[in-house]
Amino acid sequence: MRAEKVKVISKQGLHARPAGQLVTECKKFKSQIYIRWGDKGVNAKSIYAILQSGIKCGSEVVVECQGEDEELACDTIVQKIAEGLGDT
């Protein structure tokens, strides 16, 4: 398993458009991918779970990846979140 912290910089947090982009990126990988913050966590391949999470701008989250491509998956997803998922 690989885990890495990243700060959400999307202006409105993980609302519909950036959440959709996040899920699209996550589905490119075979690994299981979770977004965790505090005592909560969601499957990053589920648009419903991401939208229900309520992750706001400025939140520090942990991207956890487990599977055969976990290194690349974690690096890619952390980078996408750090760049704002097209919503900065």
CB 44 within 8 A of CB 77: yes
Q: Give dist(CA 15, CA 20) in Å, integer.
A: 8
Known catalytic residue: 54? no
Do 78 and 29 form a contact (C-beta atoms < 8 A)?
Answer: no
Per the listing, tokens 């005592």 go with 39
31 and 67 in contact (C-beta within 8 Å)? yes
Q: Which of 4, 15, 46, 67 is catalytic?
A: 15
Q: Identity (one letter) of the amino acid at 14?
A: L
Residues with a known catalytic role:
15
